């Protein structure tokens, strides 16, 4: 059906060019607002009416005649109706819709996947400094980042996942001193305990393992403790490695894996920050005022100029960000997406301004940003705010342990990133249709049980006669299957994995309706095999869509 759609679009473009040379670029199909009106809608006649000084209804009549004169329309289109001021509503023949079943079964896991476009994409996400366990906000970011990576992989991009963090900043210093105090026997509430120190029980765990001279292994580092409570540098390195290992455990539980970890401190040790500042100064994009070095960021749309280097000689936090993104560009990433909390909104203009001012060939609008809000957690009807382990917030691992990896991923992806979200733990563990992830997974498992009850060779369904699939319920399900590839493309372009959750819920509902409308394992062998092929294709698309979200597709529930 996808091939048929392309053929029909080509025919539409040809007909439009006949009506008005150059109008073929307006060839597009839309979905009718009312499904009963047809399968595709064409609005080109109304778009062309004004420049052509023609009546849109009469233009619609001419376009209809031109289309129905083409062999491809005669073969696949049952009828074209003109509605309103010039809408064309196309109704496909059942045979056209049935082609999608064959296409899905032949493509399998690759259905919806586009060929390689030869371009590299980096998605930077989570990027949490190792000062404590990952919280549910990091979980939302991990789900978003991983799903966006998966979406772009389906569109032919070579996708690279990166985690950026600082192992030597003020927060890391606070982590080291907090751990040192615990190692020396102090605790929160003691007179010696600083107000800024980290209070969670995990600090005591780090201190205990440090005193025991343990070795910790993380994906990007390992360190053996000296056991000397006065050795602050050893405590710092051990605490960072310890918490990076803890982050790895959180991410493993969430089935997220990174290709590379990038240290903010390396931007200084490698000279990238100084080199970036020198570029900006040499390009005349800075000035000195009040003992500070300023970037002329208003030249690039920022609401005010920004301090780059403070009077004490230290750089403000956006300067290493600019250096980091120059490094991304130089590493060959033509497209970069940063997944960050909404509290980073103010950095966008200044980072982009710095990149333009540096004059290294980076295009405007680089990088792209996806900003997300935090997450409220409700359990037993009450908001949960504190985790004993973390000291002040609910951790990602808490949420996974209370529910499941699948539920956390699906729920955190089910809304637009910038909308407030309340995670209902009680709903996430329910096994009924109110739980959206259960509802979708159950549709897949239900199909698997039908196929198991049949007991035949599933591979043989790819070549069956599909002509019995001519009922409204079957055709509705097939049309929805055909929307999957274009849905993926739109979701990737819009950084919108929530569109995948909406689609999967709609597809699951369509399958449940089809199952209730038509018995599948009927006596008529031809009808049975055609219906089995349709539901097998539906299971495949459910599986593929869930995989994009990083959610499993169970065969039994």
pLDDT tens figures, 407-433: 999 999 999 999 999 999 999 999 999
Q: What angle do CA 409, 2, 102 make, to 5 degrees?
A: 85
Q: Is residue 57 assigned to a domain?
A: yes
Q: Is residue 321 assigned to a domain?
A: no
Residues contacting residue 497 through CB under 8 Å, at least 6 positions apart: 143, 144, 147, 148, 151, 413, 491, 548, 549
The structural domain count of the chain equals 3
Q: For residue 512, what is the domain's CATH number?
A: 1.10.730.10
Residues 540 and 440 in one domain: yes
The answer to whether 156 and 114 are in contact (CB under 8 A) is yes
Q: What is the mean pLDDT of residues 16-22?
A: 90
Last residue of a domain, one of 92, 118, 143: 92
Q: Is residue 210 assigned to a domain?
A: yes
Per-residue pLDDT band for 26 (boundaries 50, 70, 90) equals confident
Q: Is residue 41 assigned to a domain?
A: yes
pLDDT score of 35 more than 80: no
pLDDT score of 536 more than 80: yes
Residues 443 and 543 in one domain: yes
Q: Is residue 179 assigned to a domain?
A: yes
The string of pLDDT tens digits covering residues 248-289 is: 999 999 999 999 999 999 999 999 999 999 999 999 999 999
Last residue of a domain, one of 64, 92, 120: 92
The string of pLDDT tens digits covering residues 297-344 is: 999 999 999 999 999 999 998 999 999 999 999 999 999 999 999 998
Element containing residue 169 per DSSP (H, E): none
Q: What pLDDT does residue 387 have?
A: 58
Q: To the nearest 5 percent, what fractions of the chain are helix, strand and coil?
A: 55, 15, 30
Closest CA to 517 of 484, 473, 550: 473
Give the rounded distance of the alpha carbon of 496 from its chain centre: 6
The answer to whether 20 and 52 are in contact (CB under 8 A) is yes
Tell me the average pLDDT of the chain.
94
Q: Is residue 345 assigned to a domain?
A: no
pLDDT score of 556 more than 90: yes
Q: Is residue 329 assigned to a domain?
A: no
pLDDT score of 201 more than 80: yes
The residue behind tokens 């233009």 is 59
Q: Is residue 231 assigned to a domain?
A: yes
Between the CA of residue 247 and those of 173, 252, 271, what are the distances in Å? Answer: 19, 8, 28
Q: What pLDDT does residue 89 have?
A: 93
Q: What pLDDT does residue 51 have?
A: 86
The residue behind tokens 């994906």 is 219
Q: What pLDDT does residue 122 have?
A: 98
Q: How many residues does the chain have?
A: 557
Q: For residue 12, what is the domain's CATH number?
A: 3.30.1360.70
Report the C-alpha gap between 353 and 542 in whole angstroms: 43
Q: Comparing 513 with 32, which gets the higher pLDDT?
A: 513
Helices (H), 194-263: 201-211, 232-253
The answer to whether 213 and 225 are in contact (CB under 8 A) is yes
Residue 75 has which token pair? 């073969």
pLDDT score of 79 more than 90: yes
The answer to whether 322 and 332 are in contact (CB under 8 A) is no
421-424 vs 375-379, strand pairing mode:
parallel
Report the C-alpha gap between 145 and 129 in whole angstroms: 17
Residues 73 and 175 in one domain: no
Helix (H, G, I), strand (E, B) or coil at 436: helix
Last residue of a domain, one of 92, 111, 136: 92
Helix (H, G, I), strand (E, B) or coil at 274: helix
Q: Which domain holds residue 205?
A: 171-239
pLDDT score of 371 more than 90: yes
Report the C-alpha gap between 456 and 54 in whole angstroms: 59
């Amino acid at each position: 059906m996808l091939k048929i759609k392309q053929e029909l679009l080509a025919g539409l473009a040809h007909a439009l060019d006949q009506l008005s040379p150059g109008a073929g670029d307006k060839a597009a199909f839309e979905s009718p607002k009312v499904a009963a009106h047809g399968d595709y809608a064409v609005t080109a006649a109304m778009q062309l009416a004004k420049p052509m000084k023609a009546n849109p209804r009469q233009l619609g009549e001419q376009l209809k005649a031109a289309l129905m004169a083409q062999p491809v329309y005669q073969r696949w289109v049952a009828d074209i109706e003109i509605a309103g001021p010039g809408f064309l509503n196309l109704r496909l023949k059942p045979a056209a819709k049935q082609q999608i079943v064959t296409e899905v079964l032949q493509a399998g896991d690759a259905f919806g996947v586009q060929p390689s476009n030869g371009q590299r994409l980096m998605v930077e996400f989570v990027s949490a400094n190792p000062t404590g366990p990952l919280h549910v906000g990091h979980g939302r970011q991990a789900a978003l980042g991983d799903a966006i990576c998966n979406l772009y992989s389906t569109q032919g991009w070579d996708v690279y996942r990166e985690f950026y963090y600082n192992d030597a900043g003020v927060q890391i210093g606070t982590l080291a001193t907090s751990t040192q105090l615990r190692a020396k026997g102090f605790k929160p509430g003691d007179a010696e305990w600083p107000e800024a120190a980290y209070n969670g029980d995990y600090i005591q765990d780090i201190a205990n393992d440090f005193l025991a001279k343990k070795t910790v292994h993380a994906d990007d580092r390992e360190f053996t403790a000296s056991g000397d409570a006065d050795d602050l540098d050893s405590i710092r390195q051990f605490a960072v490695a310890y918490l990076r290992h803890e982050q790895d455990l959180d991410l493993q539980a969430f089935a997220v894996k990174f290709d590379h970890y990038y240290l903010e401190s390396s931007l200084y040790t490698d000279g990238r920050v100084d080199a970036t500042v020198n570029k900006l100064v040499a390009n005349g994009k800075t000035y000195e005022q009040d003992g500070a070095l300023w970037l002329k960021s208003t030249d690039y749309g920022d609401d005010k100029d920004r301090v780059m280097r403070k009077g004490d000689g230290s750089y403000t936090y956006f300067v290493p960000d600019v250096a980091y993104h120059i490094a991304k560009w130089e590493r060959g990433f033509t497209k970069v997406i940063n997944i960050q909390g909404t509290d980073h909104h103010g950095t966008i203009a200044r980072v982009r301004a710095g990149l333009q001012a540096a004059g290294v060939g980076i295009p405007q609008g680089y990088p792209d940003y996806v900003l997300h809000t935090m997450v409220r957690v409700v359990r037993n009807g009450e908001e949960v705010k504190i985790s004993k382990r973390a000291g002040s917030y609910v951790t990602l691992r808490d949420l996974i342990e209370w529910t499941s990896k699948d539920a956390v991923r699906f729920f955190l992806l089910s809304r637009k990133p910038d909308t407030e979200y309340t995670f209902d733990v009680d709903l996430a563990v329910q096994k009924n249709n109110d739980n959206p992830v259960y509802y979708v997974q159950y549709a897949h498992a239900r199909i698997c049980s039908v196929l198991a009850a049949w007991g035949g060779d599933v591979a043989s369904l790819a070549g069956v006669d599909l002509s019995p699939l001519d009922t409204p319920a079957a055709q509705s399900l097939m049309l929805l299957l055909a929307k999957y590839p274009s849905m993926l493309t739109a979701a990737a372009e819009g950084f919108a994995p929530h569109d995948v959750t909406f689609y999967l819920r709609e597809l699951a509902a369509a399958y449940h309706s089809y199952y209730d409308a038509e018995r599948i394992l009927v006596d008529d062998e031809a009808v049975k095999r055609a219906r089995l092929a349709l539901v097998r294709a539906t299971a495949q698309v459910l599986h593929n869509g869930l995989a994009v979200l990083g959610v499993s597709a169970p065969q039994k529930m």
